Structure 1
């Protein structure tokens, strides 16, 4: 017997022989189309198209995960556990798989067992993967039942901690020295990530028309990059709020080193508890995705109440495409379980409408979709170049979560499945005055000098 079968029963050997061919055949029967990736199975066999990346199924346990959680979540658990992997270009693999995971919709992701092809596929997976109980989820998965009702203060704090308290050293590897965790603003094909993030921070400050002495509220202030830029470059007095203690600690240290402690205050505080308005400007950069649709009007009302008449809001937010039937919309299970617990994306039109319903006048919308795809690719490159250290700072599973999440998001932006937009809005005065220039896009021009 071949050494790879030592200690394995005859029945198991028969089940494993030519496992890759059996897997691709099963997949094609269920999908009704050829599998777009080559497969290499745990027995060393390969099957599928000879060109491009290879989907490596390292352990039979991955099949049991798919049996118990068909579709996206089962695949995600197997990926995080290291039971499946991709050899070759990850972006190409995800782009090819997107036709299965996205375009074919939930009917494939959550197959109906009454479909004969699906039933046959399940039986085939049982023979290949075994009938043992479902493997436990990887420890990186969120256990939400302990954290209260959705979008309560307690549960929001737990969700933010899960995502942002991974460790500042880990984030510095991924994000680079700027520690800016949102879409950069690329000026052309050349330029570094640091330059693009600096330009994004400057764009935000110019859209908000910050001047010496203005009060800026930075909602979801992260590691303090915008606060430092606004205080140092524009003379603003900044209050930053975050629910992440690790972010706050890093931001305070950075502010002290910059000599800006007299201009910036960082609080570990829920934005709903801010009471010291009015502010001249509010920036919400990559924070509204955590708010949730049930709280979005409350979010808009709160930010409006914190602004003086004529004060501006810059809302920078990822948006999904609207569904033909909005009741059919479902949250991405991988993102919800492993990345952003309770995070929700809204269509851009709904965001604009809610801000207007709250009393804001929306003055400008700028789409930055292509900018975010390039930013994510830069972050993935940073992670991959420091892989051993990144896995050591967190866990191999957590590092795998981040690699898949960022690469998949890059493909989603490139395929126009999601976008990201900066919405500039103003709280008009009682007289209707906005204080806005007639030519609103003047900030797009770089300032002299």
Structure 2
């Protein structure tokens, strides 16, 4: 009788019609596959039951989160190989449905059922959240619940992963050798410069997280800031941090939905890594609400992850793993869709900067932080939750590196009726000059020659 690893390898190759590119180690200690290749460890036959009851990404995710499967070797390499094997084998690759027409493949499928016995559906890991019906998604209540699922897992855990900056969005790297802290500071400064922040201005930071942008804007640029978040834990952390910085007279942190902010107008709005939570059905409302909160001439900096457009956008579905374990109800849109909706709301879009490679570098640093402090990360959350974060951050790093997704900073203006944007003639003036948010209008004698 064949051992479990050989049977698993043979069954996988028969079912998919492709050679398995990694090694397999099964629960009985047996191994099969290319010598020296990274190894997928199947610790329990329960992993097969998870895949049979929920074929595809969600079944794999459940097996990973539960610890039924693991990786021995470089996680990035294994994810790259499996992505090509399962999802990206090209138009000529046969589908599972095609293969099941082959009597030998049907026989292999029956063998897989026998190997997975007893055929009882395993319970989903406790870290999995139940998805809302489309009718109830992105209400104030459902958004608060979704945000709590992702962000209220412990500030100490996020400190371990994110480092002292506590910035949970793409950093801005001068070079891959820079420190994460420096790169996050540079990102906050880039946002401040694009918004043209100057002393006396009012900034609304939508989805303010742990207060990093608010603190930077108030301390370095002398503005007054209102930060809003739906996370109680984030708000508590941000308020403590602001008090320690001596900035309580300049910064107010609210646990509030952006749709309930009513104290405009603001001179500028930053939305950094928040718009992914808004949802396609609500995005125009989001854009309209933010424009209404800006004074004429006010700027919005919208920093948002984007997916690539599909030939049939009506067939788009959210990522099952991300939706169940990471960002419930999160939705990515193509960059063109986002820009179009901002324009429909009346914004003038003036600058778009893609910083896709920067997010890959950022995610790899976060993964390294988690892996370097793995026992502590598990203690602060749970083994399953720590495994969720490691998998999603590593997989996301690869997605950015391979251009499956991107991230963009979109600068938009509520342009006054007379049409004066207030921007310098050279569109990226903010990338040069001393700190402090100097912002020169056309005709200013300081305009040239340092513009970018």
Q: Give TM class, smaller chain.
A: over 0.9
1:44 matched to 2:32: no
**Corresponding residue pairs, total:** 434
- 8 Å CA contact 2:18–2:85 kept in 1: the answer is no
Paired residue secondary structure (1:317): strand
Q: Distance in 1 between matches of 2:182 and 2:86?
A: 35
The 5-angstrom pairing of residues 350-361 of structure 1 reads 350-361=337-348
Q: Offset of 1:125 from its aligned partner?
A: 1.6
Q: Which residue of 2 aligns with 1:415?
A: 402
Q: Which residue of 2 aligns with 1:236?
A: 223
Q: Distance in 2 between matches of 1:163 and 1:298?
A: 23
Q: Distance in 2 between matches of 1:421 and 1:101?
A: 28
Q: Offset of 1:327 from its aligned partner?
A: 2.0
How has the CA–CA distance of structure 1 residues 207 and 167 changed in structure 2, closer, same or farther, with 3 Å as cutoff? same
Show CA shifts across 1:315-336 (max 9, x none): 0000000011112221110000
Paired residue secondary structure (2:208): coil
For residue 375 of structure 2, the aligned residue among 388, 391, 415 is: 388
Paired residue secondary structure (1:44): coil
Q: Distance in 2 between matches of 1:240 and 1:108?
A: 50
Q: Distance in 2 between matches of 1:267 and 1:392?
A: 30
For residue 33 of structure 1, the aligned residue among 12, 18, 21 is: 18
Structure 1: where are the runs of 5+ without partners? 1-13
- 8 Å CA contact 1:185–1:200 kept in 2: the answer is yes
Q: Distance in 2 between matches of 1:431 and 1:399?
A: 53
Q: Which residue of 1 aligns with 2:157?
A: 170
Q: Which residue of 1 aligns with 2:69?
A: 84
1:331 matched to 2:318: yes
Show CA shifts across 1:294-325 (max 9, x none): 00000000000000000000000000000111
For residue 93 of structure 1, the aligned residue among 50, 74, 78 is: 78
Q: Distance in 2 between matches of 1:187 and 1:217?
A: 27
Q: Distance in 2 between matches of 1:168 and 1:109?
A: 46
Q: Distance in 1 between matches of 2:60 and 2:101?
A: 22
Q: Offset of 1:26 from its aligned partner?
A: 1.0
Paired residue secondary structure (1:103): coil
For residue 445 of structure 1, the aligned residue among 432, 435, 444 is: 432
Paired residue secondary structure (2:396): helix
For residue 297 of structure 1, the aligned residue among 284, 291, 300 is: 284
Q: Distance in 2 between matches of 1:372 and 1:70?
A: 30
TM-score (norm: length of structure 2) = 0.93
Paired residue secondary structure (1:144): coil
1:115 matched to 2:96: no
Q: Which residue of 2 aligns with 1:309?
A: 296
* Superposition RMSD in Å: 2.0
Q: Which residue of 2 aligns with 1:369?
A: 356
Show CA shifts across 1:224-258 (max 9, x none): 00000000000010000000000000000000000
Q: Offset of 1:448 from its aligned partner?
A: 6.4
How has the CA–CA distance of structure 1 residues 174 and 109 changed in structure 2, closer, same or farther, with 3 Å as cutoff? farther
- 8 Å CA contact 2:71–2:78 kept in 1: the answer is yes
Q: Which residue of 2 aligns with 1:277?
A: 264
Q: Which residue of 1 aligns with 2:390?
A: 403
- 8 Å CA contact 2:152–2:233 kept in 1: the answer is yes
How has the CA–CA distance of structure 1 residues 166 and 105 changed in structure 2, closer, same or farther, with 3 Å as cutoff? farther
Q: Offset of 1:178 from its aligned partner?
A: 0.5
How has the CA–CA distance of structure 1 residues 353 and 148 changed in structure 2, closer, same or farther, with 3 Å as cutoff? closer
Paired residue secondary structure (1:350): helix
Q: Distance in 2 between matches of 1:154 and 1:409?
A: 28
Q: Distance in 2 between matches of 1:192 and 1:381?
A: 13
1:150 matched to 2:137: yes
Show CA shifts across 1:180-224 (max 9, x none): 000000001321000000000000000000000100000000000
